[in-house]
Amino acid sequence: MCSHTPLPPANAVPAPVAAPAADRIKCLLVDDVEENLIALEALLQRPDVQILKASSGAAALELLLAHEDVALALLDVQMPEMNGFELAELVRGSERTRHIPLIFMTAGTREQNWQFRGYESGAVDFLYKPIDPHMLTSKAQVFFELHRRKQALAHELRERTEALRINEMFMAVLSHDLRTPLMSITAAATVLKRQPAPDKAAAMAERVLSSSQRMGSMIEDLLDVTRIRQAGGLALNLGPADLQRLVQRTLEEVRSAFPDRAVEVHSHGDTQGVWDGERLCQVLSNLVGNAMHHGDTDVPVRCEIDGTHSGCVAVTVANGGTIPPALLPRLFDPFRGRDREPGRHQGLGLGLFIAQQIVRSHQGHIAVESTGGHTRFRVSLPRVAVPAGGPAGAGR
């Protein structure tokens, strides 16, 4: 269902918007005095900062187990049962938390010479109470900014690593996957050059046609991946379409390769919308083809189109059998599953990735559920697509 958020008054002052939980920087405060925790939280609270509070060393360790990637920890030295130094030694002793910057806070006198013990415990700074608010916020902001830069560098490293992996896979496709059908075409052409018997010539011509179509499909998939990487999505040619008719058309094409597989189709409500029909056929062909190829042959493939909602239309493709749990998290990754069974001609691992990108370009959603001996792919599309990957009407 669609909803609209009312606009604020023209003279309204926008309130700070908290960053998503996954993007917020985490800061741990440890003090056995509740008033101190409240005061520290008030000083360090920011829309992009998540404050974690603990009133003891044991509670702090529990928070560190539950939260990863803490940017800074402020530890009170004088606490019962486990003081700040003992807590710091435990934090530094764990591979998971030893990187966290620690700042000690104490109300003790400077003559007690605790600074040396604090630095020996791995502290980056030592503050005496009452703490200067400006000094504390300035020091904390430095560590928050360092953490942001660390996250940005890690994200960039992941992106570059993924780009390198995809480039290597491109080379593997060019050097291996395309060579196989090319060799088949070359062998068939050599036989045809000898002018064999008509029946053998027809078989060789069919092999040339099949191999060339396979090469064409691979090349088109590679071009789609290049378009996605360069433009951030796929351009769409939007127009009126009927999802039920697109499903029927796809089934007619796929059934020729699986004449013995049973398929059930159920449709409800209004299945019309504004989409790129050719691209959606590409999505459906991949989902239905996978269901017929990998699904349990004793269980019919089931396609259900749901047009009962005013704002969206959904299609579900279900088959018998389950996907290995280890594969589910990377099912939509490009070039997944390069380890293939000997003697089997499988795809490039691009079909589901491209299908996901097509759905996203329609501002839709694709999900998979594989439990209890059944696998279901569900595609949900807004009834009127708003392209995300490029201007509507742009060419392929």
Cα separation of the two ends of the chain: 31
Q: Which stretches of the chain drop beneath a pLDDT of 50? A: 1-16, 338-346, 389-396
pLDDT, residue 202, reads: 87
Q: How high is the pLDDT of residue 387? A: 61
> What local confidence, expressed as pLDDT, does residue 345 receive?
43
Q: CA 137, 82, 35, 30 torsion: positive or negative?
A: positive
Query: For the purposes of burial, counting CB atoms within 10 Å of the CB of 382, is it exposed (0-12), middle (13-18) or buried (19 or more)?
Result: middle
State the amino acid at position 50 in one-letter form.
Q
- Coil, strand or helix: which one is 377? strand
Residues 2-35: tens digit of each pLDDT: 433 333 333 443 444 555 555 789 999 999 999 9
Cα(283)–Cα(241) distance, integer angstroms: 14
Position 162 scores a pLDDT of 75
pLDDT at 9: 39
Residue 252 has, within 13 A of its CA and on its CB side, a CA count of: 7
Q: Rg of the chain over CA atoms, in angstroms?
A: 30
Instruction: List the alpha helices (DSSP H) in the chain.
Output: 34-44, 57-66, 84-92, 114-120, 133-172, 179-193, 198-231, 243-255, 277-294, 351-361
The answer to whether residues 51 and 44 touch, using CB atoms and an 8 Å cutoff, is yes
Identify which of 262, 271, 282 has the alpha carbon closest to the alpha carbon of residue 244.
271
**Measured between alpha carbons, how far is 392 from 233 in angstroms, rounded to an integer?**
12
User: Residue 91 and residue 94: Cα distance in Å, rounded?
Assistant: 6
The predicted pLDDT at position 339 comes to 46
Strands 49-54 and 70-76: unpaired
User: Residue 122: what pLDDT?
Assistant: 66
Output the CA–CA distances (angstroms, integers) from residue 16 to 53, 141, 150, 247, in the order listed.
22, 18, 24, 46
Joined together, the tokens standing for residue 268 give 């409800």
Assessment of whether the complete model's pTM goes beyond 0.75: no
